[in-house]
């Protein structure tokens, strides 16, 4: 463990790292700066300065949606590595289970929530069948970048070309 003596104080680097991780974990989960500050009993301005200090990307908010994705975990890792934290990826089995577990009214409400959530982003990367990609472009009021997975209806999982996804992310993440 690294300790630093500053005047008559001894400071633990690990303790600082642990506290910063708590702050960032709460912020990533959707807590506001004020909520995190109150919860951890720190100044909100500290959180703002901390985020500014560590920011690696500023600008367009990007999200991703895709199904049926065979290499879902690999795609998730690529998205996370580029700082994309809002995404909805499903395999065909997950998509069918999700749809079959809900009534028509519940499905309609959840779809509305998803559409509203994705509308908050400047860019959405959409991966899916030709029909679904057109649907995403029609419903979202933002730039939709598409990665076609095949002709509708897709009844099996399709592998997303992660190199293509990386090229797209390289071009829009600045």
Q: Where are the domains of the chain?
A: 3-54, 62-172
Rounded percentage of the chain residues whose pLDDT exceeds 70: 96
Q: State both tokens at 114.
A: 């998803």
What's the CA gap between 34 and 47, in Å, rounded?
9
* Number of neighbouring beta carbons within 10 Å of residue 50: 17
Write down the architecture of domain 62-172 according to CATH: 3-Layer(aba) Sandwich (3.40)
pTM assigned to the model:
0.66
What pLDDT was estimated at residue 174? Answer: 66
Mean pLDDT estimate for the chain: 91
Backbone angles phi, psi at 62, to 5 degrees: -125, 140
Mean pLDDT of 27-36: 88
For residue 90, name the pLDDT band (cuts at 50, 70, 90). Answer: very high
CA separation, residue 100 to residues 44, 45, 104, 114 (Å): 43, 46, 9, 17
Q: Is the pLDDT of residue 57 over 70?
A: no
For residue 59, name the pLDDT band (cuts at 50, 70, 90). Answer: low
What pLDDT was estimated at residue 49? Answer: 86
- Give the CATH fold of the 3-54 domain: Arc Repressor Mutant, subunit A (1.10.10)
Handedness of CA 141, 85, 74, 173 (dihedral sign): positive
């Amino acid at each position: 463990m690294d300790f630093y003596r500053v005047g008559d104080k001894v400071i633990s680097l690990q303790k600082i790292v642990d506290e910063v991780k708590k702050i960032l974990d709460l912020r990533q989960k959707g807590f506001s700066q004020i909520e995190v500050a109150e919860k951890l009993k720190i100044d909100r301005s500290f959180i703002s300065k901390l985020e500014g200090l560590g920011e690696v990307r500023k600008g367009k908010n990007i999200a991703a949606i895709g199904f049926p994705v065979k290499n879902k975990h690999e795609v998730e890792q690529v998205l996370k590595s580029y700082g994309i934290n809002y995404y909805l990826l499903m395999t065909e089995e997950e998509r069918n289970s999700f749809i079959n577990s809900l009534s028509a009214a519940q499905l309609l409400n959840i779809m509305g929530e998803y559409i509203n959530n994705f509308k908050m982003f400047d860019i959405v990367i959409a991966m899916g069948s030709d029909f679904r990609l057109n649907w995403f472009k029609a419903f979202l009021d933002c730039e939709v970048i598409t990665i076609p997975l095949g002709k509708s209806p897709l009844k099996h999982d399709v592998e997303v070309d992660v190199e293509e996804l990386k090229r797209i992310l390289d071009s829009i993440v600045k």
